[in-house]
Amino acid sequence: MERIRQEQMDKRERQRRFEELCKDESCLVYELLSIEYVTQLAAYLRQRVTFLRDIRQQQEEQQEEQQQQQRPPAREQVDILELGCGRGLLAFCLQRELSNDEAPSRPISYVATDSHPPFSDPCLGMVPIVCVDAEAALRRYSPLLVLISWMPFAVDWTSAVRLSDALEYVLIGHGEGGLMGRHYETWGCVRADPHTGDLDPLIRRRLDDNRVGDGEGDDDTCCYPEGPLPDGLRPYVCDGFERVRLVDLRELQLCRFDDLESMLVAGGLSTSQTNSFRRWTREGGNH
């Protein structure tokens, strides 16, 4: 009986410490970065950058064959561009891990950006942060891969990423229905207004414009059920990207919104995810 009582006390203490760390608004902790997660994420990014460099080189060779006056102004090329990096903790951990290659043939370039980095945070100084918003960063740099961890709720940067020349972007945080991004623009999901039950008029207009007719006339009205849309109506698919869920990485994740004890007891997954969105090309298919 005493052993059981002690175990319950230990569980409560673990949960208390977890909540203290995650719920403190001054700490700005959304994703708890374990050594295992950072190591595996860095390995994924290293592999993807190596592959995407070859794709970019092929694109540049094709551009050389085109008329020079049609080429866009040169921008600073980087391998990985992180948007909304906050205090730079993820950037610091990843750069340290990516630099651990014993004999890198070509170091991976990594630029961390944030529109309002917390300059008073003691963690700053670990990594340089470029003070610029997401859209301006995409105009300044030409990244192979864009990394975004916990994009603000009801904010979408992915539409701008897809308009850039990035070949892939990786989202860390809640997926559809969660507290990151916008339901339609980021995840391709429909959610009606809780008060009126209607869709946003602009979103409905976009869906109606892209909808394939069902052969029963042009004046029919389509009802869009809540949840994920068919592939042909999801913005990222329409922009030429495919979503890849990185399940192996999710198994290593832990975020501030998780119930620690239920995860430990039931072996459940974090509510945080790691998702890759990869650009398609006519020649090479999915990157």
Higher pLDDT residue, 47 or 228?
47
Task: Judge whether residue 144 has pLDDT over 50.
Answer: yes
Q: What is the reported pTM?
A: 0.82
Give me the domain span that covers residue 131.
27-57+74-211+224-279
Task: Judge whether residue 7 has pLDDT over 90.
Answer: no
Can you tell me the mean pLDDT for 29-44? 94
Q: Does residue 11 lie in a domain region?
A: no
Q: Does residue 18 lie in a domain region?
A: no
Q: What is the DSSP letter of 68?
A: G
Q: Does residue 9 lie in a domain region?
A: no
Q: Does residue 68 lie in a domain region?
A: no
Task: Judge whether residue 127 has pLDDT over 60.
Answer: yes
Instruction: Using DSSP, state whether 108 is helix, strand or coil.
Output: coil
* Contacts for 18 with CB less than 8 Å, ≥ 6 apart: 260
Rounded to whole angstroms, the Cα distance separating 103 from 110 reads 18
Residues in the chain: 287
Rounded to whole angstroms, the Cα distance separating 29 from 27 reads 5
Q: Does residue 247 lie in a domain region?
A: yes
What CATH number did the domain enclosing 174 receive?
Answer: 3.40.50
Residue 140 near residue 162, CB atoms below 8 Å = no
Residue 94 near residue 38, CB atoms below 8 Å = yes
Residue 199 near residue 192, CB atoms below 8 Å = yes
Say how many domains are in the chain: 1
Can you tell me the mean pLDDT for 266-279? 88
Confidence of residue 206 (pLDDT cuts 50, 70, 90): low
* Contacts for 235 with CB less than 8 Å, ≥ 6 apart: 159, 162, 184, 185, 188
Q: Does residue 130 lie in a domain region?
A: yes
Question: In degrees to the nearest 10, what's the CA dihedral of 264, 268, 270, 274?
Answer: 130
Task: Judge whether residue 284 has pLDDT over 60.
Answer: no
Q: Tell me, what's the pLDDT at 283?
A: 43
* Contacts for 178 with CB less than 8 Å, ≥ 6 apart: 271
Q: Does residue 216 lie in a domain region?
A: no
Q: Does residue 63 lie in a domain region?
A: no
